[in-house]
Amino acid sequence: MNLTEERITIPTEAAKGREREIMHYQINIDNYERAITEIETNYTDPDILAFAEQLKNLLASSKLEQTKEQIMLKVIKEQLECMSD
């Protein structure tokens, strides 16, 4: 593979990795939201309610990290578009 091909291959693979990360974050976000709802609806045990608070923190963190991945994916795709022009 020559350097020109590699210059396209590397960001293309990076974009695929970012897309997978975004999907993984979304799976976690969905699971955290469902678990929080489940706990708040059906549980009163203080330890389980504390777990819901931990999940809320994880939810916020996952949303932030997913947004970061989305930003990076956007700029990688823009870079690839510039290369194809």
Radius of gyration of the chain (CA): 19
Q: What pLDDT shows up at residue 21?
A: 98
- Number of helices followed by number of strands (H, E) in the chain: 2, 0
Compute the distance between CA of residue 36 and CA of residue 52 in angstroms, rounded to an integer.
Answer: 5
Name the pTM for this structure. Answer: 0.89
Q: Can you give the pLDDT at residue 83?
A: 84
- Tell me, what's the pLDDT at 85? 67
Per-residue confidence (pLDDT) for residue 4, from 0 to 100: 83
Per-residue pLDDT of the chain (85 residues; tens, 9 = 90+): 788 889 899 999 999 999 999 999 999 999 999 999 999 999 999 999 999 999 999 999 999 999 999 999 999 999 999 987 6
